[in-house]
Amino acid sequence: MKDLVFSTNNQHKVEEVQQKLQGLCQIRTLKEFGCTDDIPEDHDTLEGNASQKSHYLFDKYGCDCFSDDTGLEVEALGGEPGVYSARYAGESKDSEANMNKLLLNLEGKTNRKARFRTIISLIIDGEEHLFEGIVNGTILTERHGKEGFGYDPIFQPEGYDRSFAELSMEEKNAISHRGRATEKLIAFLQGYSSKK
């Protein structure tokens, strides 16, 4: 299997995906690939953003690549922050500020149901394939744990009494939205490579 360029410089994401791939193919970040462009993601859906990022790379470099977009969708807030999850409290993409804003907006609300949703857009040999991963859970009233990133300290996955930030990478990867989308990506790549 050829190298795949992952349209990110987020080392946490790369580690999560690489751990699941277990040598199936080598992932290269944008930095490792030599792309320093500020890749646009200005669509109003996760699918649109993921697709936009992978098409940007393919159109410019002709490489096999994939990108993802992830959103935290909170039921009581009509699906917010959704596609704006990383920039919920502003363009600085400050995780602490994002969590503070979310907790403030949920004050007094009894419905704390939420879900993380990841869309992966893979372009391989010029064809695009989309994969979705979802994990349901609830938003806690305060932070718990030091692992993970983003909203992990305030998101408790269904069936667990700990936040994402209290789980090991292995535990989180087994059930997370990105983990589930990545499993579909891996299944596709395994089938794809066996046909070559």
Residues with a catalytic annotation lie at 69
- Cis before residue 81, ω within 30 degrees of 0? yes
Radius of gyration of the chain (CA): 17
Task: Answer yes or no: are the C-beta atoms of 55 and 5 closer than 8 Å.
Answer: no
Residue in this structure with the two tokens 């040999």, named with its chain if needed: 125
Task: Answer yes or no: are the C-beta atoms of 106 and 112 closer than 8 Å.
Answer: yes
DSSP label at residue 73 = E
Tokens of 39: 């890749």
HEC sequence for 84-122 = CHHHCCCCCCCHHHHHHHHHHHCCCCCCCEEEEEEEEEE
Type of residue found at 94: D
**CB-based burial label for 33 (10 Å; 0-12, 13-18, 19+):** middle
